[in-house]
Amino acid sequence: MFAVSITPFTVDGRLDEDGFRRHLQRMAAAGIGVYVGGGGSGEGFVLSADERRRLFAIGAEELRGRVSFRSMGVETRSAGEMIDYLADAQAAGVDAAQVYSLDLGHGHRPTEDEVFEYLVDVLSATTVPTVLSTHQSVGYRISVESIARVVDRFDHVVGVNSSHADLAYLAAIVDAVGDRVEVHVGGPLQALSALGLGANGFLSSEANLAPRLCRSVIDAYEEGAGRELSAAFGRLARLSMALYGRGGIRATKAVLNRLGLPGGYPRKPQLPVDDAAVDWLMTLIAALQIGELEGWSEV
């Protein structure tokens, strides 16, 4: 499984490089792969190009050779934007870079032919190992046929990240390309369904807070430990719903800060959550006994 890493900022909005290093060290110590600079958990839309490159450089220093180091990026308006991003990722030496779906903006959706040509243009311009993203954020799905054609054509496509609620769509992707590339589902709530369908695992924002809990789901699955798998997944699912219900990555950062761990603050326009939300989350986390697994001091 992969953590979709936060990007810690100081209270006045500057990139917190030391906090980011310490955060990545926690992820590596838990033995999980990491995506950096994503548009959701990583607040990639408020990063400058220089900050993005700095994140990549720090990620390379802290993760490369320890765990899988990948870059995520954000939805782009054109192939040119994605090609520039991939050039930065390749220069940093990422193990793989995600290619987000095309977002034309202003509510417009590209045709299937336009999506396919976008992917061809992007992938023809790079040799870095790439992971295709088909994500609900853009309001459409990349067709399974287009995904299969791209995988057939480009040897450096190594995976597909599918972030949609439709399990039939996920199953079709696994059936079409799962014997040749990795398939991961976005978020933990579909993790068991994805594994049952033959996917490789899941991406997780929750891993920023509880990487060992996330890892324990995969470990229990691989060991065939059904009772442990059910228990770990239940704890993770409850944590996920609680965090998203109280601010998402804003809440995750606030809880990390309360625990004395590197979390930092959201960058505007996002604002911190209030103390009452953090108090509620801390009570839940204590009830789920997550601190014992993660090695935190008691909460």
Tell me: the pLDDT tens digits for 81-136? Answer: 999 999 999 999 999 999 999 999 998 999 999 999 999 999 999 999 999 999 99
Query: Is this model's pTM higher than 0.85 or not?
Result: yes
The answer to whether 119 and 153 have CB atoms below 8 angstroms apart is no
Closest CA to 6 of 32, 43, 33: 43
Residue 299 has pLDDT above 80, yes or no: no
Report the C-alpha gap between 218 and 201 in whole angstroms. Answer: 7
Q: What percent of the chain has pLDDT over 70?
A: 99
* Interhelix angle 144-153/167-177, nearest 10 degrees: 20
Average pLDDT over residues 67-92: 96
Report the C-alpha gap between 203 and 148 in whole angstroms. Answer: 21
Q: What is the pLDDT of residues 202-237, one digit of tens each?
A: 999 999 999 999 999 999 999 999 999 999 999 999
The pLDDT score that the predictor gives to residue 296 is: 85
The pLDDT score that the predictor gives to residue 297 is: 62
Fold of domain 2-225: TIM Barrel (3.20.20)
* DSSP secondary structure of 265-294: BPPTTS-PPPHHHHHHHHHHHHHHTHHHHH
- Hey, how many other C-beta atoms are within 10 angstroms of the C-beta on 53? 16
The SS3 call for residue 160 is strand
The pLDDT score that the predictor gives to residue 181 is: 98
Residue 155 has pLDDT above 80, yes or no: yes
Domain boundaries, the chain: 2-225
The answer to whether 34 and 59 have CB atoms below 8 angstroms apart is yes
Residue 125: both structure tokens together: 């311009």
Residue 249 has pLDDT above 60, yes or no: yes
Average pLDDT, rounded, for the chain? 96
